[in-house]
Amino acid sequence: MHQKNTSRSDDMSSNTNDRNIAFIGLGNMGGPMAKNLVEGGYNVTVFDLSDAAQQQLAQTGAKTSTSPKEAVENADVVITMLPAGKHVKSVYLGDADATELTADGLLSHLPSGTLIIDSSTIAAADARLVAAAAQDKGLEIIDAPVSGGTAGAEAGTLTFIVGGNASAYNRAKPMLQVMGKNIFHAGDNGAGQVAKICNNMLLGILMTGTAEAINLGVKNGLDAGVLSEIMLQSSGCNWTLEVYNPYPGIQEKVPASRGYTGGFMTQHMHKDLHLALQTAEDSGAKVPMGTQATNLYDGHNEQYNDKDFSSIMGYFDDSVLKDV
Ligand code: NAD
């Protein structure tokens, strides 16, 4: 168990009422996050549309369920880690296109006082819509999207970017500290999502820029590994060069070195870039670099939507994608 567990008991003792967690959405991120909560001593009941994902969690000590409604029976806290806004609205409001709570929505079935933590990356407007419906029912809710990738989810070192009131934030914090290392309170409901898409727009720009620079060097006779090391120690250094190099074989344990599998799928980066562009349009912010990254991911997403987003390397050098 990683080191942070030593401080968990202090945090959790102040919230002894929040012991039972329903965790919905056990994909690349949700699976390891739920596992860390089990290892942190919480009683976790899980639900995912994929039975295989549920069974994997059962092996760690989580209880499985057959529906979101069954998962939340006895839950003090509900955590969701779903692909996009339509899934979040479908679970909480009862319909992917809902503009208000319907009888099928999970919010209709939760006792007042239940705390909801939605860690999915979705539009701030959707987060605010779900939050308003939850607060109408006497529920507490935060949006808490994450940064740090699957490695951060596994190691329990994610960054959580929270939107919500202080009471819900403070109540959620002990659980977020089990799954993450840096916990930020960005503002009221929806603010976590705004901060998250600013970050991911920058990440999309950095990843495409890094792939472009590596390809320029390779096309001019440089070794990709040597060039990466030079840029890592120079002013072009950035997070993708440090821990997520897009060129195969430069770093171990990154998606590029395992056929661009696992990690953060292109379809999620594509979604996040479009969320950023929509937010920019709504607010009149200029985003020329974000627009360019979005254009590149638009084309790439048509063929490689289920590959890691670092596979954008293949736009510049298609040889890296020949076996995937
Ligand atoms: P994923 O596609 O691997 O997992 C999503 C899971 O949700 C799947 O297991 C799917 O079966 C399940 N699901 C879908 N609809 C459901 C429903 N109605 N009920 C129950 N389960 C349902 O996605 P992921 O990579 O885990 O990402 C989840 C979220 O986290 C996304 O919003 C993504 O943008 C964000 N995110 C991902 C990463 C990353 O590195 N993968 C990093 C930061 C943020």
pLDDT in tens, 205-245: 999 999 999 999 999 999 999 999 999 999 999 999 999 99
pLDDT of 5 above 60 = no
Among candidate residues 63, 89, 196, 307, the one labeled active-site is 196
What confidence tier does 323 reach under pLDDT thresholds 50, 70, 90? confident
Distance from Cα 29 to the centre of ligand 1, integer Å: 6
**The pair of three-digit structure tokens given for residue 45, joined into one six-digit string:** 């009941």
Q: According to the model, what pLDDT value does residue 17 have?
A: 85
- Output the residue whose Cα is nearest ligand 1's atom 30: 120
The closest-lying atom of ligand 1 relative to the alpha carbon of residue 269 is 34
Question: Measured from the CA of 122, which atom of ligand 1 is nearest?
Answer: 32
What atom in ligand 1 is closest to the CA of residue 47? 20
Cα-only R_g, the chain: 20
Centroid of ligand 1 to alpha carbon of 1 (angstroms): 24
Q: Which of 262, 272, 286 is nearest to 199 (CA)?
A: 272
**How confident is the prediction for the chain on average, in pLDDT?**
94
Residues having CB within 6 Å of any atom of ligand 1: 24-30, 47-50, 53, 81-83, 87, 90-91, 120-121, 146-147, 149-150, 263-264, 268
Summarize the confidence of residues 26-49 as an average pLDDT.
Answer: 98
Sign of CA dihedral 19, 111, 103, 133: negative
Pick 195-321's CATH classification: 1.10.1040.10, 3.90.650.10, 3.40.30.10, 1.10.150.120. 1.10.1040.10
Q: Which of 320, 313, 321 lies closest to 297 in space, CA to CA?
A: 313
The domain segmentation of the chain, as residue ranges, is 2-188, 195-321
Between the CA of 148 and the centroid of ligand 1 the distance, in Å, is 14
Are 2-188 and 195-321 in the same CATH fold? no
Contact between 118 and 144 under an 8 Å Cβ cutoff? The reply is yes
Active site residue 63: no
pLDDT tens per residue, range 128-151: 999 999 999 999 999 999 999 899
Asked whether the predicted pLDDT for residue 154 surpasses 50, the reply is yes
In this predicted structure, the answer to whether residue 7 has a pLDDT above a threshold of 80 is no
pLDDT band at 4 (very low <50, low <70, confident <90, very high): very low
Among 47, 49, 202, which is best to mutate for testing ligand 1, by the most ligand atoms less than 8 A from CB?
49
pLDDT confidence tier of residue 109, bands split at 50, 70 and 90: very high
CA 48 – CA 46 distance, rounded (Å): 7
Centre of ligand 1 to C-alpha 83, Å, is 4
d(CA 87, ligand 1 centre) in Å? 9
- The dotted CATH code for 2-188 is 3.40.50.720
pLDDT digits (tens, 9 = 90+) for 159-200: 999 999 999 999 999 999 999 999 999 999 999 999 999 999
Q: Whose CA is nearest to atom 13 of ligand 1?
A: 25
* Interatomic CA distance for residues 262 and 288, integer angstroms: 29
pTM of the model: 0.90
Helix axes 224-232, 191-219, angle to 10 degrees: 130
